């Protein structure tokens, strides 16, 4: 009976999101939450943003119903709600007035402090191989804040094409929910929260997929990124290399894009916060893929990361290490091939070419 109630709640959340999105679209036009075309945008006409508001409202209604039915821990539920409201307020203001990066960081930090102090959602220990258990103590706060800021901004950065951030987040969060439910013995309520957010995003995706009728906006990308970071913390309270590796692997697409964006800007001696058109989706389109093809390719990459993350809980330590090394090697080859770190920066490919040329020369002699 409980499972049926949960299924009904998830389906209702998805339907509510689909119903609310057209109303949020009209509201965005009325209050000026509109993305106007410019050199960095792919849209050719003004597009309403703030679509994340529909996701937030439907998610909040869905989780509130589940809270009333199953009595989630009140402290965590209301601490999360407080953090969500701060994030949503930050996103809505940014979609209307365009905040500076520091102002957005302040909003994310305030939301993170809310869940840290009020909800007690934090990293507290780390188990290092050979060294054993180490308590973070006072480092718990900065480490937790850094994690939330990094993941939130990583998801925010990939929101560059129709349906991209929404679809990748659906894949990532679904995987996180499955791992938490079946492999990590996480609390049932965490998985329910995750799947409720997934349901809300599924209801929104048809309006957001190419050709989009509404964008997530920072309202959506910040909210989804923040919730993803917080959900992952439930499995990271007592951190090990494997437990931290799983969410990193699940979020492989936004993390890879963010890391290489930072590397690219450092190598080009530009500010890390300076925007450019060399993100993963930009590079794939510059190589000749269409808008839709680019999104589908990145969905495929996200699915690969998710599949590999499912192997971690059932692998041995050495199996996980070899899996990670193999993935990093393949990932480096891919990003060099598409020029994600910048043009003419292909150290691994150049080394392989030199090695093959040297071996070929020796065999000819």
Known binding-site positions for Mg(2+): 156, 218
Pairing of strands 132-135, 238-240: unpaired
Local structure of 215: helix, strand or coil: coil
Residues in CB range of 214: below 8 A, 6 or more apart: 21, 24, 25, 28, 47, 48, 49, 50, 51, 207, 208
Q: Residue 141 belongs to what H/E stretch?
A: helix 140-157
Cα separation of 102 and 109, whole Å? 10
Q: CA angle at residue 27 from 21 to 31, to 5 degrees?
A: 145
Q: Tokens standing for 164? A: 């991209």
Local structure of 190: helix, strand or coil: helix
Burial tier of 2 (Cβ tally within 10 Å: 0-12, 13-18, 19+): exposed
The answer to whether the CB of 245 falls within 8 A of the CB of 135 is no
Cα separation of 261 and 270, whole Å? 11
Cα separation of 161 and 283, whole Å? 12
Alpha carbon 143 to its chain centroid, in Å, reads: 18
Residues belonging to the binding site are 156, 218
Residues in CB range of 105: below 8 A, 6 or more apart: 149
Max Cα distance, the chain (Å): 78
Residues in CB range of 338: below 8 A, 6 or more apart: 280, 283, 284, 287
How many separate helices (H) and strands (E) can be counted in the chain?
A: 14, 5
The answer to whether the CB of 50 falls within 8 A of the CB of 20 is no
Burial tier of 125 (Cβ tally within 10 Å: 0-12, 13-18, 19+): middle
């Amino acid at each position: 009976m409980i499972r049926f109630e949960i299924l009904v709640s998830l389906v209702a959340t998805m339907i509510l999101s689909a119903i609310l999105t057209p109303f949020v679209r009209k509201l965005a036009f009325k209050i000026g939450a509109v993305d106007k075309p410019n050199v960095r945008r792919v849209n050719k006409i003004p597009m309403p943003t703030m679509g994340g508001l529909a996701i937030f409202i439907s998610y909040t209604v869905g989780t509130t119903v589940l809270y009333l039915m199953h009595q989630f821990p009140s402290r965590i539920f209301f601490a999360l709600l407080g953090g969500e409201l701060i994030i949503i307020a930050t996103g809505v203001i940014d979609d209307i007035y365009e905040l500076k990066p520091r102002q957005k960081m302040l909003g994310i930090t305030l939301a993170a402090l809310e869940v840290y102090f009020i909800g007690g959602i934090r990293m507290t220990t780390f188990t290092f191989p050979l060294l054993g258990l180490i308590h973070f103590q006072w480092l718990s706060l900065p480490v937790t804040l850094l994690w939330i800021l990094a993941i939130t901004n990583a998801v925010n950065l990939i929101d560059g094409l129709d349906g991209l951030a929404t679809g990748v987040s659906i894949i990532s969060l679904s995987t996180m929910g499955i791992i938490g439910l079946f492999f990590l013995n996480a609390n049932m309520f965490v998985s329910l929260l995750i799947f409720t957010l997934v349901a809300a995003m599924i209801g929104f995706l048809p309006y957001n997929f190419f050709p989009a009728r509404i964008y997530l906006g920072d309202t959506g990308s910040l909210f989804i990124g923040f919730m993803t970071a917080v959900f992952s913390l439930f499995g990271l309270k007592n951190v090990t290399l494997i437990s931290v590796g799983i969410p990193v692997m699940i979020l492989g697409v936004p993390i890879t894009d963010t890391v290489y964006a930072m590397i690219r800007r450092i190598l080009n001696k530009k500010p890390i916060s300076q925007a450019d058109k060399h993100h993963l989706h930009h590079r794939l389109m510059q190589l000749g893929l269409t808008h839709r093809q680019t999104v589908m390719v990145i969905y495929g990459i996200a699915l690969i990361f998710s599949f590999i993350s499912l192997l971690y809980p059932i692998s041995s330590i050495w199996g996980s290490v070899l899996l990670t090394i193999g993935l990093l090697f393949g990932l480096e080859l891919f990003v060099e091939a598409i020029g994600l770190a910048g043009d003419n920066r292909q150290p691994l490919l150049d080394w392989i070419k030199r090695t093959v040329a040297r071996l070929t020369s020796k065999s000819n002699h």
